[in-house]
Amino acid sequence: MSKFVAASGQLTNNPAEDRFIQRTLEQLRSEIKLQLNPAEDATIILSELLDGHPIWIEDTRGLYDAVFPTNRKVIEITQEILGQEWQKVKNEAIKGDLREEEQPSKVTRFFRAMYKPFLPLAQLVKDFGEQELEALANWIGRK
């Protein structure tokens, strides 16, 4: 990201130099976007900022107005994303694996429990809840 921001501030009125800078900006923009998570709001905003970021300036006198405000926004969003990622790393270091595991349905857990005849009652209560076990016991008692 730092290379992208730095390169965007180096546009000149020299076509040969600007073509090289434009290619560099396009390459960096693509590399950055490939590393973003499209499911997170901040990265969506950053992707849109990068898409709208000017890579060609007709007159370098307009460089400040065209590029630098966008660069400031890009930097702010990037810092926010990095802060969120750092918080995730710290939480994982403290709490372990933070991925949410897919939970099986209660019916699936019940049938698994049926095939484990020595499963302690406390585990059944933990898995299903007291009211659900009571309702299930009543249902089984009627059959």
Averaged confidence pLDDT in the chain: 76
Task: Tell me the one-letter amino acid at 131.
Answer: Q
Task: Summarize pLDDT for 69-106 with one digit per residue, the tens.
Answer: 888 888 998 998 899 889 888 888 888 776 666 666 66
In the three-class reduction of DSSP (H, G, I as helix; E, B as strand; rest coil), residue 130 is classed as helix
State how many domains the chain has: 2
| pTM as predicted | 0.57
- Do residues 116 and 64 both lie within one domain? no
Q: What is the arithmetic mean of pLDDT over 52-66?
A: 68
115 and 68 belong to one structural domain:
no
Question: In this predicted model, which residue has the larger pLDDT, 12 or 77?
Answer: 77
How far apart, in whole angstroms, are the C-alpha atoms of residue 112 and residue 79?
Answer: 47
Residue 138 is part of which domain span?
106-142
Per-residue pLDDT for 28 more than 70?
Answer: yes
